[in-house]
Amino acid sequence: MTGYDDRDGKIWMDGQLIDWRDAKVHILTHALHYASSVFEGERCYNGKIFKSVQHSERLRNSARLLDMEIPYSVEEIEAAKYAMLEANGWSDAYVRAVAWRGAGEDMGVSAKRNRVRLAVAGWEWGAYYGDAKMQGAKLDISKWKRPSPETIPAHAKAAGLYMICTMSKHAAEAKGCSDALFMDYRGYVAEATGANIFFVKDGAVHTPMPDCFLNGITRQTVIGMLTERGIEVIERHILPEELESFEQCWLTGTAAEVTPVGQIGDYTFEVGALTREIAEAYEKLVRA
């Protein structure tokens, strides 16, 4: 496959569909220097983007948390996403909407006079973790920690918050792992680099409380599915030494969907019946 900068197709950008290779920004784009950018990752199944409106609403909210106002309504963002999919002839695809402060009159930390831009791209994408979807992913434990919400807009899906994710995933891949698990600034289990995490113990499901990281849309969906099945879901602070006591584990996210975890550091988990049940049920739900 060619690089993401050199493909045929269309990208929606600032109100119009343009050729893929023409979707460019200036080197003095504010977001490139100061991380003033927010984004969404979404999946389209059988011509319908799962939880699409929720993603568009979160995009606008993330921008506001970064003191940016996207100049398009939720309805206009929705139309842009489907226009992009139609232009490329895709019914199953990953959708990436991104908003950022562009180049303009300001080139410093302050950028009030630079307009906020919006683009929507997409591509056809299979399982995020490859074979781990069936066998169970192997996770490293990152040396970095999710920071305090007093230091960053922790509940925005902001590009700058993924810097430690990239570094952690590179370190994990160098060890033969699929991903890395973060602790938070207090030492509690937090999340993976791009997915939330769940554990099973004695028939109940435990998941970290999202008080310093993104409460994922897929995470919320899976909690709803478990609750509907009468399975107890406990959202709480989880200490790393508790990992030894959990029987099953899985990750959730738009890209990850529901992916079993077989190992985190020295701790191993069964790819058990509940994990498989939820993974299969999620597949049916998103394609319904």
Regarding whether 253 and 146 lie in a shared domain, the answer is yes
Question: What Å distances lie between residue 17 and 31, 81, 121, CA to CA?
Answer: 22, 11, 10
Q: Is residue 167's pLDDT more than 70? A: yes
Q: Is 157 a catalytic residue?
A: yes
What is the predicted pLDDT for the residue at 259?
96
| Residue 219 near residue 280, CB atoms below 8 Å | no
Q: Show Cβ contacts of residue 24 under 8 Å, excluding neighbours closer than 6 positions.
A: none
Residue 120 has pLDDT above 90, yes or no: yes
Give domain status of residue 1, yes or no.
Answer: no
pLDDT for 1 equals 64
Instruction: Assess contact for 157 and 214: CB atoms under 8 A.
Output: yes
> Is there a single domain that holds both residue 161 and residue 269?
yes
- Shared domain check, 197 and 101: no
Q: Name the catalytic one among 133, 157, 169, 201.
A: 157
* 261 occurs within a structural domain: yes
224 is a domain residue: yes
For residue 87, what are the domain limits?
10-123
Query: What's the pLDDT tens digit per position in 222-279?
Result: 999 999 999 999 999 999 999 999 999 999 999 999 999 999 999 999 999 999 999 9
Cα distances from 265 to residues 13, 202, 257, 273, in angstroms, run 42, 22, 22, 23
Let me know whether 112 and 55 are in one domain.
yes
Q: Among 101, 123, 145, where does a domain finish?
A: 123
Residues 6+ apart with CB under 8 A from 271: 134, 135, 136, 248, 260, 262
Look at residue 129 in the predicted model and tell me its pLDDT.
Answer: 73
Residue 176 belongs to some domain of the structure? yes
Q: Are 105 and 74 part of one and the same domain? A: yes
Closest listed residue to residue 70, CA positions, set 156, 167, 187, 162: 156
Residue 62 belongs to some domain of the structure: yes
Domain boundary among the residues 105, 123, 141 is at: 123
Provide mean pLDDT across the span 151-170.
97
Give the residue from 95, 123, 151 where a domain finishes.
123
Q: Please indicate, yes or no, whether residues 109 and 145 belong to a single structural domain of this protein.
A: no
Do 187 and 275 fall within a single domain?
Answer: yes
Provide the domain count of the chain: 2
Task: Flag whether 226 is in a domain.
Answer: yes
Residue 237 lies in a domain: yes
Kindly state the average pLDDT of the residues 37-41: 98
Distance of alpha carbon 255 from its chain centroid, rounded?
A: 6
Indicate if 168 and 270 belong to the same structural domain: yes
Q: Has residue 57 got a pLDDT over 80?
A: yes
The mean per-residue pLDDT over the stretch 186-204 comes to 98
Q: For the domain that residue 53 is a member of, what is the CATH number?
A: 3.30.470.10
Could you tell me if 37 and 159 lie in one domain? no
- 60 and 40 in a common domain: yes
The predicted-structure confidence for 205-223, as pLDDT tens digits, reads as follows 999 999 999 999 999 999 9
Instruction: Return the bridge partners of 146, or none.
Output: 184
Residues 19 and 51 both lie in one domain? yes
In a domain, 222, yes or no: yes
Instruction: For residues 182 and 44, state if they share a domain.
Output: no
CATH code, domain with 166: 3.20.10.10
Mean pLDDT of the chain: 96
Over residues 72-96, the mean pLDDT reads 98
